[in-house]
Amino acid sequence: MSYLMNNYSRLPVKFVKGEGVYLYDDKGRKYLDLIAGVGVNSLGHAPPEVVKIISSQAKELIHVSNLFENPWQEELAQKLVKEFHTSGKVFFCNSGTESVEAALKLARKYWRDKGKNKYKFVAFERSFHGRTYGSLSATGQPKLHQGFEPMLPGFSYAKLNDIDSVYKLVDEETAGIILEVIQGEGGVNPAEEEFLAKLQELCKEKELLLIIDEVQTGIGRTGEFYAYKHFSFLEPDIITLAKGLGSGVPIGATLAREEVAESFTPGSHGSTFGGNPLVCKVASYVVDKVKDLLPRVRSVGEYFKKRLEELNLGKVKGRGLMLGIELKEECKGYVLKALEEGLVINCTAGNVIRFLPPLILEKEHVDEAVEKLKRVFK
Ligand SMILES: *Cc1c(COP(=O)(O)O)cnc(C)c1O
């Protein structure tokens, strides 16, 4: 009997230790980790420098709340804004869903401050933005809404890569559009360049805020620091971050163009834990390190994609180290088989094998993974 609520179906393995791209279970078996805590452990397991930073910062100050000045947030925010396409400001929280909540609240407040009744959001089918009510309302997956209705008013869902479907949903009351440039949980579905260009145009034409959810794609995952930067014409007003930002410590962030950011004023939104010295200090290091890793993420990612295509298992999708193989059948069984082969992979959207390895992955690890995958799919 378990004292835990039953909301996860857990795989039958107990990991007790990790090092780099490898995990070890309670029997001492070694596994190549290609999911990295769902895109979280960007620098791999137990990166020595992160261990050192956690330990030294814990000795100084772990948490002090947002009642006081916080130079650790300032330092990290400056680094995140430096990678943004324009000047901006940052709000810190603890998770992806919170970063999306902040984005939605900020967008509504921005239009309210301008005296406009623009409160609706157009999101996309198969998107994933989180599990709290705002972000869940933005999530275009009916099965995740089931039993929790009603959702927040004002959300509708267009089809990714179908600009007409977006036009149809926009009206005078639309505050903004929210999307992932590569849908993660929804099955590693990339938005096409031409579609994104039209979407950006639409936002300019109809005065809509463009919110890009970079919780999964951000912080180097796709080979650019933010995935939207693969498209030089994209100028999001707000982006959301979490997952890989802390390489394992819980931190989320919402970045907004300066003029939009000004709608948050003292008391309008907050978080008790958000951006404490410990997590900011770690994330600050992660950001520097990931910037150095970007060329490698691109080259190892391309190599990985090519090797996966050679396996001929199905369509290979994604970019950098965010890749998926769309199978013609359910993929759950293969995840178990992979575990038996010492390989940790993930199945999302029912039939997509998803890879979100640590960004420190090297070509030799790809070769090892491919050999193991051959045995799994034999
Ligand atoms: C994982 C994810 C979230 C939610 O993050 P949590 O930390 O689980 O709340 C939001 N958006 C995207 C794109 C995600 O992949």
Tens place of pLDDT per residue across the chain (378 aa): 899 999 999 999 999 999 999 999 999 999 999 999 999 999 999 999 999 999 999 999 999 999 999 999 999 999 999 999 999 999 999 999 999 999 999 999 999 999 999 999 999 999 999 999 999 999 999 999 999 999 999 999 999 999 999 999 999 999 999 999 999 999 999 999 999 999 999 999 999 999 999 999 999 999 999 999 999 999 999 999 999 999 999 999 999 999 999 999 999 999 999 999 999 999 999 999 999 999 999 999 999 999 999 999 999 999 999 999 999 999 999 999 999 999 999 999 999 999 999 999 999 999 999 999 999 999
Looking from the CA of residue 96, the nearest atom of ligand 1 is: 5
Looking from the CA of residue 184, the nearest atom of ligand 1 is: 15
**Largest Cα span, the chain:** 62
In the β-sheet with 346-348, what is the strand arrangement from edge to edge? 315-319, 322-326, 352-355, 346-348
| Pocket flag, ligand 1, residue 354 (CB < 6 Å) | no
| Pocket flag, ligand 1, residue 180 (CB < 6 Å) | yes
| Pocket flag, ligand 1, residue 97 (CB < 6 Å) | yes
Looking from the CA of residue 252, the nearest atom of ligand 1 is: 7
Q: How far apart are CA 241 and CA 239, in angstroms?
A: 7
**pTM of the entire structure?**
0.98
Residues 284, 78 contacting (CB under 8 angstroms): no
| Pocket flag, ligand 1, residue 247 (CB < 6 Å) | no
Query: From ligand 1's centre to the CA of 96, what distance in Å?
Result: 4
Question: ∠ CA 92-21-293 to the nearest 5 degrees?
Answer: 60
Query: From ligand 1's centre to the CA of 178, what distance in Å?
Result: 13
Strand-pair category, 174-179 with 120-124: parallel
Query: From ligand 1's centre to the CA of 349, what distance in Å?
Result: 15
Q: Closest Cα to residue 256, out of 241, 238, 269?
A: 238
Q: Closest Cα to residue 206, out of 157, 167, 261?
A: 167
Query: From ligand 1's centre to the CA of 3, what distance in Å?
Result: 25
Pocket test for ligand 1, best of 101, 178, 181, 216 (most atoms within 8 A of CB): 216
Cα separation values, 201 from 179, 195, 197, 262, Å: 15, 10, 6, 24
Query: From ligand 1's centre to the CA of 97, what distance in Å?
Result: 6
Pocket test for ligand 1, best of 97, 212, 239 (most atoms within 8 A of CB): 97
Strand-pair category, 346-348 with 352-355: antiparallel
Residue ID of nearest Cα to ligand 1 atom 6: 96
pLDDT of residue 222: 98
| Pocket flag, ligand 1, residue 134 (CB < 6 Å) | no
